[in-house]
Structure 1
Amino acid sequence: MSSENRVESHGVAWEESYGYVQAVQRGDTVYLSGQVAHDGPELVAPAPVGPDGRVTDFSNTGAQMRQCYANAARLLQRFGASLDDVVDEVLYVVDAAAGDAAAGPVRKEAYGRPDPQVASTMIGTPRLAFPELLVEIKMVARV
């Protein structure tokens, strides 16, 4: 196996400010950083946030989850892969109940089958990188 890495990014400002790439391929494995709901520099379906910085409504969880999968699919395509090649995923959600309600339908839609063939873990977290984010999805794919 080659020791060289191939990397890809979305070209958004936070990649440079934080210091990371969105995906790294080493050998036949592609590691995706946590994908969030953005289209270019703009957040997609941002959650409303109160004056205390906390989310006041979790109803955009499904919309954000769909965008996370779309961003992951776009990255995987650059490696000649697709969501069919994903073997492991971790979903980080700000509200476990909203994440659980959205995950079944959205995952089945994203993977195009009623029984996605991927190991999956969901973790509740109090906050993500931006206060308006409700979901972040990290993946590993084999190509």
Structure 2
Amino acid sequence: MTVRVENFGVPWESGYGYVQALQHGDTIYLSGQLANDGTELVSPASLDANGTPTDFSAMGDQMRRTYANAEELLKRFGASLGDVVEEVVYVLDVDAAMAVAGEVRRAAYGREDPQVASTILGVTRLAFPEQLVEIKFIAKLAGATAP
């Protein structure tokens, strides 16, 4: 079976060694997405002298951009967030995330009751110090065949 992949062309793809998205049959796997616009992080968190985030108020902005990046990748496969069956949301502060996640997710999925299995996990660190959230996705295409 042929596998199709997509990337954004950002340095950390080759630096870490991964693809942003991979289609295998009718399933699309998105690596953890973050709030980047090209190589720049959108709404980076403020850091203390040790490089630890001190302010989580940008959580909503980072989440919105993360969902937008996922949507962009899914479109390359003829899919959308409506095809997502599972997401895992990794955050540095669960309380800050829960305060905005409902509104952000409803807007991203375009419905009051997003039809997606979702898990949210608090973690101690993400790929970039100023990063507050990362989301991985799995989408299924109805009636799709291998690329």
Offset of residue 59 of structure 1: 0.3
CA-to-partner distance for each residue in 1:59-94, whole Å, 9 max, x for gaps? Answer: 000000000000000000000000000000000000
The number of aligned residues is: 141
- Residue 16 of structure 1 is aligned with which of 14, 17, 22? 14
> TM-score, normalised to structure 2's length?
0.95
Distance (Å, rounded) in 2 between the aligned partners of 1:72 and 1:123: 19
Offset of residue 17 of structure 1: 0.4
Identity %: 63
**Which residue does 1:42 correspond to in 2?**
40
Q: Which letter maps to 1:98?
A: A
Give yes or no for the alignment of 1:100 onto 2:98.
yes
* Cα RMSD for the two superposed structures: 0.5
CA-to-partner distance for each residue in 1:24-83, whole Å, 9 max, x for gaps? Answer: 000000000000000001110000011111101000000000000000000000000000
Distance (Å, rounded) in 2 between the aligned partners of 1:73 and 1:58: 24
Give yes or no for the alignment of 1:53 onto 2:74.
no
Give yes or no for the alignment of 1:79 onto 2:98.
no
Distance (Å, rounded) in 1 between the aligned partners of 2:95 and 2:124: 13
> TM-score, normalised to structure 1's length?
0.98
**Which residue does 1:141 correspond to in 2?**
139
Distance (Å, rounded) in 2 between the aligned partners of 1:102 and 1:137: 15
Distance (Å, rounded) in 1 between the aligned partners of 2:126 and 2:57: 16
5+ residue gaps in structure 1? none
Distance (Å, rounded) in 1 between the aligned partners of 2:124 and 2:98: 15
CA-to-partner distance for each residue in 1:87-134, whole Å, 9 max, x for gaps? Answer: 000000000100111110000000000000000000000110000000
5+ residue gaps in structure 2? 142-147
- Residue 89 of structure 2 is aligned with which of 87, 91, 99? 91
